[in-house]
Structure 1
Amino acid sequence: MVMEGIKRRYQYVGIAMAELIRSDIRHISNAANNEDSYRVLRGRVSVLKIAPDARFMPYLELAEFGSVALIRSSDLRFDLLSALVERWRPETHTFHFPCGECTVTLEDVAVQLGLSVDGNPVTGLSSLTDPAAGTTHARCKRRRCAFVDLPRCRFVHARSYSWGSAILAMLYKELCQATDPQCKDIGGCLILLQSWALYRMPFLARVSHQPYLYPLSLRWTTRPGIGKSCDVPIYRMRIEQHAREGFIWMPYRRPEITNVVPPSALVDSHTWCTNTPIINFNIVEWYNGDRVLRQFGCIQHIPDPPCQLGDDHGLTKRGRVQLDWGIYHWKYVALWYDRLRRIPQIVMATDLQPSAQYIEWYHSRGKPYLLGARTFSKLGDRKQTARWIRIRRHIVLRNRQSPNS
């Protein structure tokens, strides 16, 4: 009986290992070994450079958008974001780092942006033609805007939606598309992505003494102070060398951060670790909480094979203006409402180091290293690594100063 159980366990592990990474898709990580040829993505970013009208803020507070409305433009480092994209796996919606799988979670959205991640999915008609369905009207007279017809009940109703999961779904979609070597730009909430990386991998930048503010991404939008930007190969190298030991699984548990995060940001914490689709009208992405249990302070077991959405992944609104996506995606909407019953089995960990079985599985079927034999984490020579960085910076500076560049 025991041997049969062990045999079934290894058969299950074999299935999980076989389906972790697909070899039939084109992925930008395949070019990572060529350090002289790399891609820097452009950003499709729309930022708010000025504060909203003070008369509008009470309504934003009613809709629970007051915190995110404080976030302004950020000093985005597209070389860093491009290096992160090289680590993103569309099959699992996780980054593959030397330390294991990790991702941007609903917890990150809640504390980094201050948005609700619980509630109804953001779906329905993608285009509203009925004026009565609008929420806000404004009329401008003599260059002075007077707000009229602002029904408070509409803003209170807005807080019943999971805007945080909708933003995360869009970010997942953009990351998946950006892994295509032919992709030139990336959109989504890039402030969230960069802030997530800096909180969990502080070795990626020389962070000056910045105060912790809420929402946490404000730390980089007021006075960036994250040092000079490096190029993609240097960010690759830093991740290769330092992520195994330097990745911070639970950065928000530090006292200096818990002191600034209000209790209201933690009310949905019971929904953070689950397996569920996240929805934003036509966009459906799978959220795999069971693959990143260490981010929630739990023991990481070998997870189930990732869920594949098939033709429903990557749908666009083109030609579907009057389509009710809530009806079209009814099965995913039902799974979202059932998310509290889809929480994986968890065991709180006293030590976040992975088991030997997990390491063997992940290193054999994941992609923890991109640089192969040139992996600097295997060299163990910090002086040699520092020398390589200086040489690389000299080459970059020389190329930028070259009149033919």
Structure 2
Amino acid sequence: MDPPQVTVHSGPEVYDVLTLQAEHRSQSVWNGTLRGEKACLHPRRTDHELWQHLKHRPLHPRILDYFGRCGFRGVVEVGCVPYDWGVITALIERWRPETHTFHMRTGEATITLQDVELMFGMCVDGDPLLQAGARDISVQGWQQLIYELTGWAPDENCFTGVSRLYVGSLVAYMDGLDAITDQSTEVNVQQRVRLYLLWLCGGTIFPDKSGCKLSLDFLLDMRDLSTMGTQAWGASALSYLYNCLCRASMSAASDVCGFLSLLQVWAWERLIPMQPSLRPPREPMSPHTALARKWTRCRVRQNEVRGVLAICRDVLDNLNDGQFVWEPYSETIINGLPEWCRRGRDVWMAQTPLICGIYREWHMVDRVLRQFGREQHIPGPCTTFDHLHFKRDKRFRVTQQDIHYFEFMAAFWAHRRDNIIRAELLIEASRPRLEYFDWYHRHSRIFIGNPTHDVDRGYQHMAGRHEALARGHQNSYKLALSVGNDPTASDAEKVLAEKFSRISVESMTAASLGTRLSFAPDYTPPTEYEEPPIVPVRRRQRQAVHRDEVRSRGPRGGRGQHRVDHRLVDETCTSISLWREPPIY
């Protein structure tokens, strides 16, 4: 006789938070439409040649000095971070565009401004990157600007479309340049710095999914190197990464881009099963560098989970409180870092939109308060989110409504210090209130892997089986309590019920699941499980565009594209009529 199938409710039971579940990657994994090679996302990057170049031609101290003043020293010193496709994909399967958080077994978690600044030393408190006027520049305009700022005059065949450059063209030019020396002119040094910054931004921090092209939009913010250090490049990098994670979390995605080095070291820092061992460095590491450098200099591949998506997914499905580090940065660690890694501390807990050109993504601190040592409450609805906010990109025509929206977001960022989340300190380390756990288990996607899927060979998914056992103990415990509290039960029945309840408590506690015995096991039976409601998708429609306007943008490839003006914010606008009062906790 064959054993019965393991049936587990994956969640959520209530869809008022995860409104995009029907379109989400986790739904396709559960239904079995994303399996095998199709299930693993392909991280895209355009910086392999950059790190090889720097390996053979180390940066001169004069260039490093400019990198420090511009806020990119940490990224260069950390260097090339290897990507683990299995870990990155497993995390994105738990990323929710509705909340900008990872929905872990232990609660919501996310990458914050604190992580960006401590890990890579990038500035998170300053003027936003608006990239004003980027779409008004023609290929000839970009050629002139590149020559003025870098001394390089690329041919038109170096461009793809209007505002992107083939990385191979930049590599060939950089390899042919003479090295910077103490005798080099200041102009030559600044030109070389901009070339490296363009390569670093387009290849590591803001890469697209092409794998071979660099965006020129960021060159506009490199005209004055003396002011780059006052701009919120770290906040912009996080905004762009949020947008890329939202897009990659949809079922149709096959690639992911963005500042994935940040995502990778965030996983190493917080997920204990994913952490590589660290061997003592051959020479003491400098106290004047960013925190992420330890993960690229002293790793030992030994017992950590890596590489295989099925294993990484199952580890996250089985994750318990003791395996997630909510506060990896102690005061000792923070104070031991250089000042440029913690100068934005005042805004780490700001609930604010993050701005990167046309990308405006919310920093949802109120949902991850345990990462700051605060008591986690049941968060309110994400009323600031449009269901498909991450679909907005450069191909969209901007309406007057969009302009008002961007003005509001820029004004909100300008008042970010007025929107710092205030919450009481967490009394018991990493343990939120029970009512939060009860709410979270009903509104979150707990499981990604489906235990009913047969696996012919390789790793066998175990989280569903563990959950079936836990659910059985939880129900037995509640049943034993009801018998013990029943005045009509006999003494023998109450003694037996007490034994059953003690067995359940001991078993659940040993499995680090004792908290679940404190709230009702109100899971929907699998036979009554409903498919998530489908959110209507607004398809992009073709719009009438004058043919001269299309021609002015140059070749793009694919279907016709439409102009987007990045000059969306009236910098003299002080009106905050759309302002909503910040939440007070």
Q: What amino acid is the match of 2:124?
A: V
Determine whether 1:27 maps to 2:30: no
Map 1:167-182 to 2 at 5 A. Answer: 167-182=237-252
Residues 91, 308 of structure 1: 8 Å contact kept: yes
Q: Which residue in 1 is equivalent to 2:114? A: 107
The residue matched to 1:335 in structure 2 has which SS?
A: helix
Q: What amino acid is the match of 1:92?
A: T
Structure 2 vs 1, CA of residues 341 and 109 (structure 1 numbering), >3 Å: closer, same or farther? same
Distance (Å, rounded) in 1 between the aligned partners of 2:15 and 2:124:
33
- Coordinate RMSD, CA, aligned: 3.3
Distance (Å, rounded) in 2 between the aligned partners of 1:224 and 1:135:
42
Determine whether 1:332 maps to 2:409: yes
Count of residues paired in the alignment:
363
Distance (Å, rounded) in 2 between the aligned partners of 1:116 and 1:337:
15
Structure 1 residue 117 displacement after superposition: 0.3
Q: What amino acid is the match of 2:46?
A: S
Q: Which residue in 1 is equivalent to 2:358? A: 282
Structure 1 residue 217 displacement after superposition: 2.0
Q: Which residue in 1 is equivalent to 2:98? A: 91
Deviations 1:251-303 (A, max 9, x none): 01175x44642233222112011211111001111110100001011000111
The residue matched to 1:329 in structure 2 has which SS?
A: helix
Determine whether 1:375 maps to 2:451: no
Determine whether 1:218 maps to 2:293: yes
Structure 1 residue 143 displacement after superposition: 4.1
The residue matched to 1:286 in structure 2 has which SS?
A: strand
Structure 2: any 5+ residue segments left out of the alignment? 1-13, 153-172, 192-221, 452-462, 471-506, 512-585
Distance (Å, rounded) in 2 between the aligned partners of 1:328 and 1:363:
34
Structure 2 vs 1, CA of residues 376 and 196 (structure 1 numbering), >3 Å: closer, same or farther? farther
Distance (Å, rounded) in 2 between the aligned partners of 1:70 and 1:79:
26
Determine whether 1:191 maps to 2:276: no
Structure 1 residue 311 displacement after superposition: 6.6
Distance (Å, rounded) in 2 between the aligned partners of 1:364 and 1:289:
21
Q: Which residue in 2 is equivalent to 1:401? A: none
Q: What amino acid is the match of 1:64?
A: G
Structure 1 residue 134 displacement after superposition: 8.5
Residues 275, 343 of structure 1: 8 Å contact kept: yes
Structure 2 vs 1, CA of residues 317 and 371 (structure 1 numbering), >3 Å: closer, same or farther? closer
Q: Which residue in 2 is equivalent to 1:8? A: none
Structure 2 vs 1, CA of residues 243 and 189 (structure 1 numbering), >3 Å: closer, same or farther? farther
Q: TM-score, normalised by structure 1?
A: 0.79
- Rg bigger for which structure? 2
Deviations 1:178-221 (A, max 9, x none): 11222111111111001001100121244243657732222232
The residue matched to 2:252 in structure 1 has which SS?
A: coil
Residues 121, 280 of structure 1: 8 Å contact kept: yes
Structure 1 residue 52 displacement after superposition: 3.5
Distance (Å, rounded) in 2 between the aligned partners of 1:298 and 1:143:
52
Q: Which residue in 1 is equivalent to 2:149? A: 136
The residue matched to 1:279 in structure 2 has which SS?
A: strand
Q: TM-score, normalised by structure 2?
A: 0.56
Residues 101, 292 of structure 1: 8 Å contact kept: yes
Q: Which residue in 1 is equivalent to 2:89? A: 82
Deviations 1:58-82 (A, max 9, x none): 2222212222222322221111100
Q: Which residue in 1 is equivalent to 2:374? A: 298
Determine whether 1:60 maps to 2:73: no
Distance (Å, rounded) in 1 between the aligned partners of 2:147 and 2:364:
34
Structure 1 residue 57 displacement after superposition: 1.9
Structure 2 vs 1, CA of residues 269 and 376 (structure 1 numbering), >3 Å: closer, same or farther? farther
Q: What amino acid is the match of 2:134?
A: S
Distance (Å, rounded) in 1 between the aligned partners of 2:278 and 2:63:
34
Distance (Å, rounded) in 1 between the aligned partners of 2:35 and 2:386:
36
Distance (Å, rounded) in 2 between the aligned partners of 1:89 and 1:106:
18
Structure 2 vs 1, CA of residues 333 and 115 (structure 1 numbering), >3 Å: closer, same or farther? same
| Stretch moving more, 200-209 or 310-319 | 310-319
Structure 1 residue 240 displacement after superposition: 2.0
